[in-house]
């Protein structure tokens, strides 16, 4: 496969939102298997097209490409091809530099709750270039006529959410629901996924109530429940749905870009309900 064919395959992958890593030999010195410009595409399942030299060198590049597809970060790798006994991937006598660029589809934001704030979050996330999924149990609320802009609309019981949605490390959840009962029903499903961010709207007291329900009634371990970020969003004094959406997406983008770490907010103790 020549470089032109690699670009044609890459363009098709991008069009179909298929994750792929583009590996390019960018500099060489001495005797090496391939010259600058040689390219290879690596896919998450380990398959590949093209070549950067074959053998142990190419195997190492493929492994690094798979890691890049996991964390979304490019890599610049240098290989000496002199002495395998000291860890070199060959004996040609030269040096090879390879640049690995993960080409990933947009991250996905799942908005749970088709209310006023949910509508504002959908609009803003779409404008920011995210792939947006809107979920709600109410079909009359969760549709493109009521809330335009989402790429997908899911109407289903909470326990069926994962059947309709593929979740990976680039899937973020924002819960902007009417109350704790809805949160407690759907959070066990969401927390069973590898999503790196699960944010829940509401006061600290509201989250304390939901947290206790998840642990005492749903049986979720504390370390699992503590993945939840609540109250959600950055503190900017937001009041309107649009301002709240801004605070939420600022935090989501910050976590996605690595500028922020989601941290569980302190929650006040909640007194048990009075016995009757």
Q: CA-CA distance, 200 to 180, in Å (whole number)?
A: 10
Q: Are residues 84 and 184 in the same domain?
A: no
Q: Are residues 84 and 138 in the same domain?
A: no
Question: Does residue 8 sit within a domain?
Answer: no
Position 268 confidence tier, pLDDT thresholds 50, 70, 90: very low
Question: Does residue 1 sit within a domain?
Answer: no
Q: Are residues 177 and 197 in the same domain?
A: yes
- Choosing from 57, 88, 103, the residue where a domain stops is 103
Q: Are residues 56 and 37 in the same domain?
A: yes
Question: How many domains does the structure of the chain reveal?
Answer: 2
Question: Does residue 266 sit within a domain?
Answer: no
Question: Does residue 140 sit within a domain?
Answer: yes
Instruction: Of 82-91, 217-226, 257-266, give the range with the top mean pLDDT.
Output: 217-226
Question: Does residue 265 sit within a domain?
Answer: no
Q: Are residues 72 and 206 in the same domain?
A: no
Question: Does residue 233 sit within a domain?
Answer: yes
Q: Are residues 203 and 127 in the same domain?
A: yes
Q: Are residues 92 and 118 in the same domain?
A: no
Q: Are residues 63 and 142 in the same domain?
A: no
C-alpha distances out from residue 220 to 51, 186, 189, 224, 244, Å: 47, 12, 11, 7, 29
At CA 206, angle to CA 201 and CA 207, rounded to 5?
70
What CATH number corresponds to the domain at position 167? 3.40.50.720
Q: What's the pLDDT tens digit per position in 25-39?
A: 999 988 888 899 999
Q: Are residues 87 and 201 in the same domain?
A: no
- Choosing from 76, 103, 130, the residue where a domain stops is 103
**Per-residue model confidence (pLDDT) at position 83:** 62
> 92-112 burial by CB neighbour count: b if 16+ within 10 A, else e?
beebbbbebbbbbeebbbbbb
- Residue 176 belongs to what domain range? 108-256
Question: Does residue 270 sit within a domain?
Answer: no
CB 158 within 8 A of CB 186: yes
Position 55 confidence tier, pLDDT thresholds 50, 70, 90: confident
Q: Are residues 170 and 57 in the same domain?
A: no
Indicate if the pLDDT at residue 88 is higher than 70.
Answer: no
Q: Are residues 67 and 174 in the same domain?
A: no
Q: Are residues 113 and 203 in the same domain?
A: yes
Q: Going by DSSP bridges, is the β-strand pair 39-42/20-29 parallel, antiparallel, or unpaired? A: antiparallel
Distance, C-alpha 43 to centroid of its chain: 17
> What angle do the packed helices 204-216 and 180-190 form, to 10 degrees?
60
Indicate if the pLDDT at residue 70 is higher than 60.
Answer: yes
Question: Does residue 267 sit within a domain?
Answer: no
């Amino acid at each position: 496969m020549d470089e032109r064919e690699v670009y044609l395959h890459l363009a098709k992958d991008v069009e179909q939102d298929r994750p792929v890593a583009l590996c390019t030999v960018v500099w060489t010195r001495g005797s090496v298997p391939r010259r600058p410009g040689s390219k290879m595409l690596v896919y998450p399942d380990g398959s590949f097209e093209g070549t950067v030299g074959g053998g142990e060198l190419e195997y190492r590049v493929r492994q690094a490409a798979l890691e890049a597809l996991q964390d979304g970060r490019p890599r610049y790798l240098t290989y000496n091809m002199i002495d395998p006994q000291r860890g070199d991937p060959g004996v040609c006598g030269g040096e090879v530099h390879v640049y690995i660029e993960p080409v990933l589809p947009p991250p996905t934001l799942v908005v749970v709750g088709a209310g006023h704030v949910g509508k504002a979050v959908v609009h803003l996330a779409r404008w920011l270039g995210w792939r947006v999924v809107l979920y709600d149990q109410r079909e009359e609320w969760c549709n493109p006529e009521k809330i335009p802009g989402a790429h997908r609309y899911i109407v289903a019981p909470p326990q069926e959410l994962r059947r309709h949605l593929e979740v990976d490390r680039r899937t973020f959840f924002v819960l902007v629901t009417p109350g704790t009962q809805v949160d407690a029903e759907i959070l066990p499903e969401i927390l069973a996924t590898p999503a790196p961010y699960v944010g829940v709207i509401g006061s600290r007291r509201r989250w304390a109530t939901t947290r206790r329900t998840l642990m005492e009634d749903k049986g979720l371990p504390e370390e699992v429940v503590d993945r939840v970020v609540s109250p959600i969003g950055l503190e900017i004094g937001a009041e309107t749905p649009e301002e709240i959406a801004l605070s939420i997406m600022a935090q989501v983008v910050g976590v996605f870009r690595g500028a922020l770490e989601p941290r569980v907010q302190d929650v006040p103790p909640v007194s048990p309900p009075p016995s009757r």
